[in-house]
Amino acid sequence: MRATLIYGAGDVRVEDVPDPVLREPTDALVRVLRSCICGSDLWPYKSRPATEEGERIGHEFLGVVEDLGGQVSGLRRGDVVLAPFVWSDNTCDFCREGLQTSCRHGGLWGADGVDGGQGEAVRVPQAQGTLVKLPVGEDSELLPSLLTLSDVFCTGHHSAVTAGVDQGASVTVIGDGAVGLSAVLAARRLGAEQIILMGRHRERTQLGRDFGATDIVADRGEEGIERVRELTGGDGTRTVLECVGTRQAIETAFAVARDGGTISRVGAPQYEEMPMGFGEFFRNLTVTGGVAPARAYIEELLPEVLDGTLEPGRVFDRAVTLEQVPDGYRAMNDRAALKVLIEP
């Protein structure tokens, strides 16, 4: 079969790889219908050291069950299924606590002999706990929005939930990428009254307005911070959703948070330290967030995607075939595309 491998910075290739086979009785084989490129895939695309052998990449996909191990129940061949961006048994103590990203028997796609999601098919470990059956056909127009439940929309939702966004909340969302826009949509769903989106790409911020942003702040640095304060009577917002992962983004998050507020960071951090000195301590700020346990949120969000109340799939603004995936990476890296959908 064909699959995507990364060899180094800027070097993504689509190559022939061995067909996946069942290895454990808890496995399933899934033919991929849709996958995508994640913003976090761009970090290795920018900086990965060159290697002679490539590594599989991709962690967001949905597809059709082609085969099942003998210990997998609740699924059958032909089912359309969604895979969260980590696989898990969904039964261990961490999973029962809604922390499937820490599953005692789980792991990552594209690592330790497990297929990546950007390919024609995937062997899914712990299939019964990982896969979510979808009540749609292979050609459903809902597939893009359903795919966002694999990662990006659940990540935006995680930022809003952990920050404590609720009815009437004031929120600043930092970043107009797909996660930031998903966070805007999630905050609106939870009842936020004021949603300030910090971003400077007009097409993206317009989608942010469609998703529920009440204000757009295009300035960065001190100018952007001052603009948020102007919009909030000088205090900042009680909740801040940091959806970028850079040092500048987290510093901005602290600066625009109201004293006593909460900052949820879900952008994959590209820094080792954050500003947590006496000044932040004295302001009684709370920092939360982290990697989103998407599997914990899917059942809650799925009905509203199925009935069209939520359309998170609008973050996809370009579609490519599997062979065009390297072009998709270049487009996202150059900010010519917001989020790229892959149709194998």
- The mean per-residue pLDDT over the stretch 234-249 comes to 97
Own/partner long-range contacts of 199-208 (Cβ < 8 Å, ≥24 apart): 199/175, 200/176, 201/176, 201/335, 203/317, 203/338, 204/176, 204/177, 204/338, 205/176, 207/181, 207/314, 207/315, 207/338, 208/173, 208/176, 208/180, 208/181, 208/184
pLDDT of residue 344: 86
Share of the chain above pLDDT 70, in %: 100
| Phi then psi dihedrals of residue 191, to 5 deg | 100, 15
| pTM for the full predicted model | 0.96
pLDDT of residue 274: 87
Q: Where are the beta strands (DSSP E) in 164-242?
A: 170-174, 194-198, 215-217, 237-242
pLDDT of residue 192: 98
- The mean per-residue pLDDT over the stretch 59-66 comes to 98
Q: What is the mean pLDDT of the chain?
A: 97
| Phi then psi dihedrals of residue 262, to 5 deg | -125, 135
Quick check: helix, strand or coil at residue 123?
strand
* pLDDT for 241 beyond 90: yes
- The mean per-residue pLDDT over the stretch 249-274 comes to 95
Q: For residue range 132-188, what is the model confidence (pLDDT) as tens digits?
A: 999 999 999 999 999 999 999 999 999 999 999 999 999 999 999 999 999 999 999
- The mean per-residue pLDDT over the stretch 244-264 comes to 97
238-276: b or e for each residue (b if 16 or more CB lie within 10 Å)? bbbbbbbbbeebbbbbbbbbbeebbbbbbbbbeeeebee
pLDDT of residue 300: 97
